[in-house]
């Protein structure tokens, strides 16, 4: 009855959008599993990139697009969080300095590169060699692209993951917010906190006077998307509370949940993982069984691996 499959005769080419002078967003359609956004600031002599892509092929294509704009090398790569779609391609940028939150390094090393696990449709990853940040921070760090500051800051608590970090360009009023926002896709909180993500979006992200926000997946947007995503997260928490009260498992609950206005968002099966996390946020379980939650997403998907076009 439920399927993550969606029509995709051919995914369009990645789009390079100059969101401010010398600041680019690299938007990969269609933004589903493992198809993320990146971006970069092209300084006169060096480039700062925000995130890598998932596969070797996608990351090399991204690097070529950077080279189409500037001959300068990527000297610094910032990881917004540890997820593989944003970090597996790190190795392509060696010997760039890779900046990330301390937990980003720890979690990327711990999760490693499991390859094709059966949860998602198999992907041609290329010669991925896990390459974690080699310059870590706990709170914030400020880089400079020529005379322009690039401010990297940890959001302060678990949200999408344990290590979400924002990249803010105050002069250009551009915010790269990683997977704290999905534009057109279902948010995914399994490795973070539903409740934490609401707090972070409302208290940490919303106050930035951003003219343009580059989300982790989907088209660049403005601050209106924050309230839209918070609406979904509140829906998840409210649904989870009903399921807990009714004694339902997250999978049983997901199967009988009407996603309503969120039904058309990509990767809708994420509701299952999100409910698993919400049960923990609400105190119904102590620890989230990550593998069990991923397996439940496959069950929800009719037993089929989740669609993945990376
Ligand atoms: Zn992510």
DSSP code per residue over 242-257: HHHHTT--HHHHHHT-
Å from CA of 83 to ligand 1 middle: 5
Distance (Å, rounded) from C-alpha 188 to C-alpha 277? 10
Residue position matching structure tokens 């369009």: 12
* 215, two tokens: 């989300």
Q: Find out whether 41 and 144 touch, Cβ atoms under 8 Å.
A: no
Q: If pLDDT is split at 50, 70 and 90, which confidence band does 8 have?
A: low
Q: Report the pLDDT value the prediction gives residue 9, as an integer from 0 to 100.
A: 55
Å from CA of 182 to ligand 1 middle: 9
Average pLDDT over the chain reads 96
Verdict on whether the full-model pTM lies above 0.75: yes
Alpha helices (H) in the chain, listed in sequence order: 56-69, 84-87, 102-111, 194-200, 224-245, 250-255, 270-281, 290-300
Question: Under CATH, which number does the domain 15-300 receive?
Answer: 3.60.15.10
Q: pLDDT of 178-216, one tens digit each?
A: 999 999 999 999 999 999 999 999 999 999 999 999 999
Å from CA of 136 to ligand 1 middle: 18
Q: DSSP label at 107? A: H
Å from CA of 44 to ligand 1 middle: 30
Distance (Å, rounded) from C-alpha 297 to C-alpha 281? 19
Residues with CB under 5 A from ligand 1 (ion): 83, 179
Residue 173's closest CA among 212, 215, 147?
212
Å from CA of 221 to ligand 1 middle: 18
Q: Which residues contact 158 (CB under 8 A, 6 or more apart)?
A: 192, 193, 196
Question: 248-256 long-range CB contacts below 8 Å, 24 or more apart?
Answer: 250/275, 250/276, 250/278, 250/279, 250/293, 250/296, 251/296, 251/299, 251/300, 254/296, 254/300, 255/1, 255/2, 255/300
Distance (Å, rounded) from C-alpha 176 to C-alpha 38? 9
Q: If pLDDT is split at 50, 70 and 90, which confidence band does 10 have?
A: confident
Å from CA of 231 to ligand 1 middle: 19
Å from CA of 47 to ligand 1 middle: 23
Domain spans of the chain?
Answer: 15-300
Q: pLDDT of 138-188, one tens digit each?
A: 999 999 999 999 999 999 999 999 999 999 999 999 999 999 999 999 999
Å from CA of 27 to ligand 1 middle: 15
DSSP strand E in the chain: where?
15-20, 23-27, 38-42, 47-50, 74-78, 97-101, 135-137, 140-145, 148-154, 165-169, 174-176, 212-214
Task: Give the β-pairing of 97-101 and 74-78.
Answer: parallel
Å from CA of 149 to ligand 1 middle: 25
Phi, psi of 125 (to 5 degrees): -80, -25
């Amino acid at each position: 009855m439920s399927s993550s499959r969606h029509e995709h005769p051919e995914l369009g080419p990645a789009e390079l959008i100059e969101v401010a002078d010398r600041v680019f967003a690299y938007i990969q359609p269609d933004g589903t599993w493992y198809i993320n956004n990146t971006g970069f600031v092209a300084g006169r002599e060096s480039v700062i990139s925000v995130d890598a892509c998932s596969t070797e092929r996608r990351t090399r294509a991204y690097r070529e697009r950077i080279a189409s704009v500037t001959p300068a090398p990527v000297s610094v790569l910032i990881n917004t969080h540890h997820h593989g779609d944003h970090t597996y391609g790190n190795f392509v940028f060696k010997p760039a300095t890779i900046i990330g939150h301390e937990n980003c390094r720890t979690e990327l090393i711990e999760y490693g590169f499991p390859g094709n696990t059966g949860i998602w449709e198999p992907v041609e990853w290329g010669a991925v060699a896990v390459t974690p940040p080699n310059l870590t921070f706990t709170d914030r760090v400020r880089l400079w692209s020529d005379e322009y500051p690039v401010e990297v800051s940890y959001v302060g608590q678990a949200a999408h993951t344990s290590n979400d970090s924002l990249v803010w360009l105050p002069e250009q009023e551009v915010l790269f917010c990683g997977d704290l926002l999905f534009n057109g896709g279902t948010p995914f909180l399994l490795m973070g906190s539903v409740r934490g993500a609401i707090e972070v979006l409302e208290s940490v992200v919303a106050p930035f006077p951003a003219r343009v926000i580059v989300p982790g997946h989907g088209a660049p947007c403005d601050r209106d998307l924050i309230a839209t995503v918070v609406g979904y997260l509140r829906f998840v928490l409210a649904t989870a509370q009903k399921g807990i009260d009714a004694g339902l498992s997250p999978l049983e609950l997901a199967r009988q949940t009407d996603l309503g206005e969120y039904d058309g968002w990509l990767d809708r099966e994420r509701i299952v993982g999100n409910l698993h996390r919400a049960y923990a946020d609400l105190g119904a379980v102590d620890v989230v069984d990550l593998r069990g939650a991923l397996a439940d997403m496959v069950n929800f998907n009719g037993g089929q691996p989740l669609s993945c076009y990376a």
